[in-house]
Structure 1
Amino acid sequence: MIAHPDKAELDKVAVELLQVYGNRELKAKERLAIPPQEMPSQDPHVRVSNMDEVATGYTEAQVKVEALRCLQCANAPCVKGCPVGIDIPRFIAKAAEGDYASSVAVIKESSMLPAICGRVCPQESQCQLLCTVGKSLKSIDKAVNIGRIERYVADWESRAGKRKNPEIAASTGKKVGVVGSGPASMTAAADLRRAGHDVVMFEALHKAGGVLVYGIPEFRLPKSIVQEELDALSAMGVKIEHNFLVGRTAKLHDLMEREGFDALFLGTGAGLPKFLNIAGENLVGVFSANEYLTRSNLMRAYDRHKAGTPLYNSKKVAVFGGGNVAMDAARTAKRLGADEVTIVYRRTDEEMPARREEIAHAKEEGVKFLYLHAPLRIVGDEKGMVKQVELITCELGEPDASGRRSPVEIPGSEAMHDFDTVIVAIGNASNPLIEKTTKGLDVNRRGNIIVDEETCATSMKGVYAGGDIVLGAATVILAMGQGRRAAKAMNAYLAGTGEVE
């Protein structure tokens, strides 16, 4: 494991840089000379034994230094990379001045969840990918750390008690239902409520927050941050009903016809785990990543004294997959006490879709990576519990439909590997419940709801949808973008200016 510089050391360097570059007009060449600020974090030796947030956040000196690196480009390419179109140069300029209230206000013109997005959005493949600084220095790692600045100003607003709920328009008398409580639904609910509609959010589980609560571990996104956003919705007047499974507790037609809802937004996510359909997936000790993470995140499996579910005692864990969910599952397994955790991936590190930061953190924490291997079967002992996994070695062939080179199995390279736990993290599909219980709702062959690209309107009048139920497993910010687009169209529909035939 690699030790990190502590926060005091990083702050000291940042203070010295401020003395050199602060309080004067800087030329582009000077801004490019300012080094990127490293994110302070817990030492890997320490954090593998706790669930506290790994990244501890910039100091004030660091955020000002990082903000000074922004060139304030006139064409603002970073904005084009943001799914919700945040005015990035403007919020960064305010942060450089130390005007954090104005900075976060700029963000909230476009995004209601900056503390969340600053932590979990893949900026390196969105806004930071297009950053002129990164391109000028020929490295994405040297782009302005937009997400870290966003996180700082959002956290400052919360710490300083400066948060203000948006003003609510006069009541329209319209009643709107929001199904699900993840990022798309939270965004839509806020915008619909601001327009003056009565909004009721329906959540199937006993806690709201969707994937932000059950899917993303505490060490990446503290649940208190999500709860703060939900509390803000409640303070705005959004009613949240828990343990309400739309499609079972009530169907969509029931809500529209019997309960009197004038419009509905569907943000139910993609929570149906995919499996490999190989022998042995029904053995004790095989988990979908969804189940594994939900037991830890929502039911506190890591807290033996307060857990709402039994802890499965693993020693040697195999995680199949290479995305962010696989990293979350592997790092959670380490914190739950596993001696050895191995990510088994069919391609190489270069093709791995997880964020570079998450991969680096996993490696720092002792997670092993077995590249160019694919599982063939899982073998159990006499008690039906996982004992071994048969893996086959692969090589990379031609690119597949996604543009990545396809793994090709090498005959005769099969070998048995000892594991007592398997976590399958190869993606999710849409839960078919609403589709199966709703006539007239069009879906594609993957079960995702078909919507109009501009309005997010479905095939049913007055029903809109967004987030993973439409996009498949996507990012928080993309889901938020759809929630905002849908709310705008719904407001027009409810006002009688944008009715869908």
Structure 2
Amino acid sequence: MPNMSLEKVKMPEQEPQVRNQNFKEVALGYTKEQAMEEATRCLNCKHSPCKNGCPVGVPIPEFISEVAKGNFEEAYEIITQENALPAICGRVCPQENQCEGKCVRGIRGESVGIGRLERFVADYHREHGTKKVNQIEKNGMKVAIVGSGPAGMTCAGELAKKGYDVTVFEALHKTGGVLSYGIPEFRLPKDLVQKEIDGVADLGVKFETNVVVGRSVTIDELQEEGYAAIFVGSGAGLPRFQGIPGENLNGVYAANEFLTRVNLMKGYEFPNHPTPVKISDTVCVIGAGNVAMDAARTAKRLGAKNVYIVYRRGEQEIPARAEEVHHAKEEGIIFKLLTNPVKIEGKDGWVESMECVEMELGEPDASGRRRPIEKAESNFTIETGTVIVSIGQSPNPLIRQTTPGLDTQKWGGIIVDEETMKTSKDGVYAGGDVVTGAATVILAMGAGKKAAQAIDEALKQKQCKND
């Protein structure tokens, strides 16, 4: 009989006032007993609505059924048929909007903790599982992947399983893309990311770091080198700014620069690692998405006494995951909602304060959210020495500027056929944030998987014609 408890088994966590002073993982993970108990809440619905909510199509009821029986390795085998990065997805996927959002148990009470169970299974396998020896017959065709983030990694893994000789070109000195530079250690430990990447490398995928495609080598040059197909998964790393006075002062960071300094370049271990990150007692983070929450919570851990999330809309419009907002509030982050910065002021080139205005919400705009309207004569000032701007990112222009025949959106995203992820340039595919703008890890993985399928079909077809 299913366990009919209306609430999920509680996830063990570090206490808020302890964790906001360290970079260790916030959520500690289920024990075997907790995982099995949570798994018994699954009704094993025949129509599996949860699976339809998963962008990579994990057989969710099937893996949960194995967890309930204590067959954790069998559960891992089921998950990894469709998802090469389960430890990552279990931690950072917005399950509440995807698989768990479709869960029948969520109609009355809380949905089954699918993400928590996926994380448990992946962690259990990492600690207790045996490494598989992959024997894959090569088909003699080369494919290039641009970017080693979730889209590129997924596409690479899928194609390697099908026998392709896959090389991933990464611009930075470390692989992982946003998983390595963008998501903080306390949400996604970097040794875990490396182990997932090692799993893809074990399939025969080769990685070349410090290769900036569009500068070190162009897409056309890769084609000339004999790559039968190219997948562009280079992400969206170009920050947006508001265009207000003072954004060029010292002490103003783009959120991705700030997080890269801390995560990838280990700024939180300065001076043991030579990357200084200047933080004042008061920090203002402009924006309220997941990246803004990561930046605010990171600033708190670096020693800031007062950290503000400054957001021009209200509580209901916050785009970050509810869990991230909840954790931020628990850790002492202050939310200044219905507030918009209009000017950053400084002295001797350094930030000293930020002038803001109060806002109120009007009618919904094109995005469906209520449009913020400035309140007359409501200006006020926040004394601060650090401002972190987190209002969105777009793709780096290098690839589109150096690739003739590649059609892009006005804002820089690569245009693709949504069924195949094929671009306007023959043999070139793209997916993830470079197509959609900044989105989620799992959506990028879904795009990488879809592209791998399309590449395989196209190259097999081409081979048949040549034969």
Conservation of the 8 A alpha-carbon contact between 1:157 and 1:163: no
Looking at structure 1, the residues matched to 115 and 374 of structure 2 have their Cα atoms a distance apart, in angstroms, of 39
- Unmatched runs of 5 consecutive residues or more in structure 1: 1-24
Please state whether the residue corresponding to 2:451 is helix, strand or coil. Answer: helix
Please state whether the residue corresponding to 2:358 is helix, strand or coil. Answer: strand
Looking at structure 1, the residues matched to 133 and 357 of structure 2 have their Cα atoms a distance apart, in angstroms, of 55
In structure 2, what is the equivalent of residue 17 of structure 1? none
**Equivalent residues in 2 for 1:92-491, closer than 5 Å:** 92-137=64-109, 142-164=110-132, 166-168=134-136, 170-257=137-224, 259-381=225-347, 383-491=348-456
Seen in structure 2, the aligned counterparts of structure 1 residues 166 and 121 have a Cα distance that, compared at 3 Å, is: farther
Code of the residue aligned with 1:324 in structure 2: it is: N
Looking at structure 2, the residues matched to 56 and 166 of structure 1 have their Cα atoms a distance apart, in angstroms, of 31
Please state whether the residue corresponding to 1:423 is helix, strand or coil. Answer: strand
- Unmatched runs of 5 consecutive residues or more in structure 2: none
Residues 188-214 of structure 1: CA distance to partner in whole angstroms, max 9, x if unpaired? 101111111111110000001000000
Please state whether the residue corresponding to 1:264 is helix, strand or coil. Answer: strand
Post-superposition offset of 1:308: 3.4
**Pairing partner for 1:55 from 5, 27, 30:** 27
Looking at structure 1, the residues matched to 407 and 56 of structure 2 have their Cα atoms a distance apart, in angstroms, of 26
Indicate the larger mover: 247-256 or 297-306. 297-306
Code of the residue aligned with 1:99 in structure 2: it is: N
RMSD across aligned C-alpha pairs, in angstroms?
1.4
Conservation of the 8 A alpha-carbon contact between 1:345 and 1:373: yes
Aligned length: 465
In structure 1, what is the equivalent of residue 18 of structure 2? 46
Seen in structure 2, the aligned counterparts of structure 1 residues 203 and 428 have a Cα distance that, compared at 3 Å, is: same
**Pairing partner for 1:73 from 28, 45, 58:** 45
Seen in structure 2, the aligned counterparts of structure 1 residues 165 and 280 have a Cα distance that, compared at 3 Å, is: farther
Percent of residue pairs identical: 54
In structure 2, what is the equivalent of residue 13 of structure 1? none
Post-superposition offset of 1:61: 1.1
Looking at structure 1, the residues matched to 233 and 7 of structure 2 have their Cα atoms a distance apart, in angstroms, of 41
Code of the residue aligned with 1:162 in structure 2: it is: T
Please state whether the residue corresponding to 1:236 is helix, strand or coil. Answer: coil
Residues 97-143 of structure 1: CA distance to partner in whole angstroms, max 9, x if unpaired? 11111111111121111100000000011111111111123xxxx11
Post-superposition offset of 1:372: 0.5
Please state whether the residue corresponding to 1:408 is helix, strand or coil. Answer: strand
Post-superposition offset of 1:498: 9.2
Seen in structure 2, the aligned counterparts of structure 1 residues 275 and 63 have a Cα distance that, compared at 3 Å, is: same
**Equivalent residues in 2 for 1:2-13, closer than 5 Å:** none
Conservation of the 8 A alpha-carbon contact between 1:280 and 1:379: yes
Seen in structure 2, the aligned counterparts of structure 1 residues 177 and 114 have a Cα distance that, compared at 3 Å, is: same
Post-superposition offset of 1:430: 1.1
Moved over 6 A (4+): none
Residues 334-393 of structure 1: CA distance to partner in whole angstroms, max 9, x if unpaired? 111111100001111111011111111111111111110000010001x11111111000
Please state whether the residue corresponding to 2:227 is helix, strand or coil. Answer: coil
Conservation of the 8 A alpha-carbon contact between 2:279 and 2:385: no
Please state whether the residue corresponding to 1:426 is helix, strand or coil. Answer: coil
Residues 155-186 of structure 1: CA distance to partner in whole angstroms, max 9, x if unpaired? 00000033436542x22111111000000100
Post-superposition offset of 1:235: 2.1
Code of the residue aligned with 1:57 in structure 2: it is: G
In structure 2, what is the equivalent of residue 10 of structure 1? none
In structure 1, what is the equivalent of residue 4 of structure 2? 32
Looking at structure 2, the residues matched to 336 and 33 of structure 1 have their Cα atoms a distance apart, in angstroms, of 40
Looking at structure 1, the residues matched to 60 and 138 of structure 2 have their Cα atoms a distance apart, in angstroms, of 33
Conservation of the 8 A alpha-carbon contact between 2:421 and 2:431: yes
Please state whether the residue corresponding to 1:327 is helix, strand or coil. Answer: helix
Conservation of the 8 A alpha-carbon contact between 2:352 and 2:383: yes
Code of the residue aligned with 2:461 in structure 1: it is: G
Please state whether the residue corresponding to 2:285 is helix, strand or coil. Answer: strand
Code of the residue aligned with 1:488 in structure 2: it is: Q
Conservation of the 8 A alpha-carbon contact between 1:271 and 1:429: yes
Please state whether the residue corresponding to 1:154 is helix, strand or coil. Answer: helix
Looking at structure 1, the residues matched to 345 and 303 of structure 2 have their Cα atoms a distance apart, in angstroms, of 23
Post-superposition offset of 1:33: 3.0
Please state whether the residue corresponding to 2:261 is helix, strand or coil. Answer: helix
Looking at structure 2, the residues matched to 455 and 239 of structure 1 have their Cα atoms a distance apart, in angstroms, of 24
Conservation of the 8 A alpha-carbon contact between 1:346 and 1:407: yes
Seen in structure 2, the aligned counterparts of structure 1 residues 243 and 72 have a Cα distance that, compared at 3 Å, is: same
Looking at structure 2, the residues matched to 476 and 455 of structure 1 have their Cα atoms a distance apart, in angstroms, of 19
Conservation of the 8 A alpha-carbon contact between 2:183 and 2:294: yes
Looking at structure 1, the residues matched to 10 and 321 of structure 2 have their Cα atoms a distance apart, in angstroms, of 16
Indicate the larger mover: 282-291 or 106-115. 106-115
Please state whether the residue corresponding to 1:90 is helix, strand or coil. Answer: helix
Please state whether the residue corresponding to 1:357 is helix, strand or coil. Answer: helix
Looking at structure 2, the residues matched to 267 and 485 of structure 1 have their Cα atoms a distance apart, in angstroms, of 13
